[in-house]
């Protein structure tokens, strides 16, 4: 049997850790390869680790065709759905897969909208019947739908999106390895890239401290914004943080004004006490 390993498909899903791969190898050596490898023609779609282990030890395996794949996009969607249902997939990876599925479905929807007129045209009388297509996947048109598909909360989906968009590769690697939580990684991802890299290189403790610093800073921001809103309407926006300094200045002005008034009073008394023919000073 000629089985083709497509490297792009092999890398499409996050690979097993070394411990996970070793556990799978022990299981296959003890019980054999119980699950059939899924093929699309000659291309291996599901079971790359099992196939490699069986090849290494000369063990037999079974294969099954999925005749409903019509494109590589169908293959990707099927692979995503398979892994979303597996307990061994981490929360972060499930979120990444669900977001990837949303992108595929959005692209497919855009293509369908662009070719609506062509799709509505009646088929030629001699056109061959198309092969049975895969059932239409869930569109994942909302964040709630993505969260449900990934078995996550909506807030976790938001954080994973932030990590995907803003995190340096080193920080993403730390999340995948479990060195840092999704929540903490989303906080660190808001830092400049060089700070993310430095924190990831320093290890777990420094990543935690970086996340703590970001959270404390975020807690202070609402208080500063409230102070700006409570400042006089005609005051410049950037003067709000200096409210205490402004109060001090106003107090000092009042003190100087009082001192000036007192000096004027004393001068008036001295002038009144002088003889009429004396020269005023």
Question: pLDDT tens digits for 47-101?
Answer: 999 999 999 999 999 999 998 999 999 999 999 999 998 888 899 999 999 999 9
43 domain-assigned: yes
- Which residue segment(s) compose the domain that 88 sits in? 70-111+135-166
- Mark whether 139 and 96 lie in a shared domain: yes
Residue 52, domain CATH: 3.90.1530
210 domain-assigned: no
Cβ 43 vs Cβ 76: under 8 Å: no
Q: What is the 3-state secondary structure (H, E, C) of 36-52?
A: CEEEECCEEEECHHHHH
- Mark whether 27 and 85 lie in a shared domain: no
160 domain-assigned: yes
Which residues have a Cβ under 8 Å from the Cβ of 230 and sit 6 or more positions away? Answer: 240
Q: Among all chains, which residue has been given the structure tokens 């994942």?
A: 140
161 domain-assigned: yes
Cβ 112 vs Cβ 120: under 8 Å: no
101 domain-assigned: yes
Report the alpha-carbon distance of residue 66 to residue 131 in Å, rounded.
Answer: 12
- Mark whether 3 and 61 lie in a shared domain: yes
Question: Comparing C-alpha atoms, which of 94, 86, 80, 83 is closest to residue 137?
Answer: 80
Q: What pTM did the predictor assign?
A: 0.66
- Mark whether 27 and 44 lie in a shared domain: yes
Tally Cβ neighbours within 10 Å of residue 86: 10
What distance separates the 2 farthest-apart alpha carbons in the chain?
A: 131
**Phi/psi of residue 260, nearest 5 degrees:** -65, -40
121 domain-assigned: no
Give residue 6's pLDDT: 94
Query: 235-259 in b/e burial notation, b at 16+ Cβ within 10 A?
Result: eeeeebeeeeeeeeeeeeeeeeeee
126 domain-assigned: no
- Mark whether 82 and 140 lie in a shared domain: yes
Q: What is the pLDDT of residues 124-149, one digit of tens each?
A: 555 545 445 555 555 677 889 999 99
92 domain-assigned: yes
The secondary element (H helix, E strand) that includes residue 63 is strand 63-65
Instruction: Report the length, in residues, of the chain.
Output: 281
- Mark whether 51 and 92 lie in a shared domain: no
- Mark whether 89 and 38 lie in a shared domain: no
What total number of domains does the chain contain? 2
Cβ 40 vs Cβ 66: under 8 Å: yes
Give residue 278's pLDDT: 54
């Amino acid at each position: 049997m000629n089985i083709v390993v497509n490297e792009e498909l092999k890398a499409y899903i996050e690979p097993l850790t070394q411990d996970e791969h070793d556990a799978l190898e022990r299981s296959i050596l003890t019980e054999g390869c119980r699950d059939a490898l899924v093929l699309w023609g000659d291309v291996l779609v599901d079971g790359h680790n099992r196939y490699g282990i069986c090849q290494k030890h000369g063990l037999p395996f079974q294969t099954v065709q999925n005749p409903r794949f019509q494109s590589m996009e169908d293959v990707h969607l099927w692979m995503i759905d398979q892994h979303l249902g597996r307990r061994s997939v981490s929360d972060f990876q499930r979120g990444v897969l669900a977001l990837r599925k949303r992108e595929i479905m959005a692209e497919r929807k855009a293509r369908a909208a662009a070719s609506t007129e062509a799709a509505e045209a009646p088929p030629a009388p001699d056109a061959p019947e198309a092969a049975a297509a895969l059932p239409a996947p869930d569109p994942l048109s909302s964040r709630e739908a993505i969260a449900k598909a990934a078995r996550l909360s909506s807030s976790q989906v938001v954080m994973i999106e932030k990590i995907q968009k803003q995190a340096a590769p080193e920080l993403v690697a730390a999340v995948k390895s479990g060195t840092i939580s999704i929540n903490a990684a989303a906080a660190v991802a808001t830092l400049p890239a060089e700070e993310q890299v430095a924190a990831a290189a320093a290890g777990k403790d420094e990543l935690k401290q970086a996340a703590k610093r970001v959270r404390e800073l975020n807690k202070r921001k609402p208080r500063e914004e409230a102070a700006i809103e409570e400042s006089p309407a005609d005051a410049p926006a950037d003067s709000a943080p200096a409210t205490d300094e402004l109060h001090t200045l106003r107090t000092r002005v009042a003190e100087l004004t009082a001192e000036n008034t007192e000096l004027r009073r004393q001068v008036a008394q001295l002038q009144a006490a002088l003889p009429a023919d004396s020269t005023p000073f």
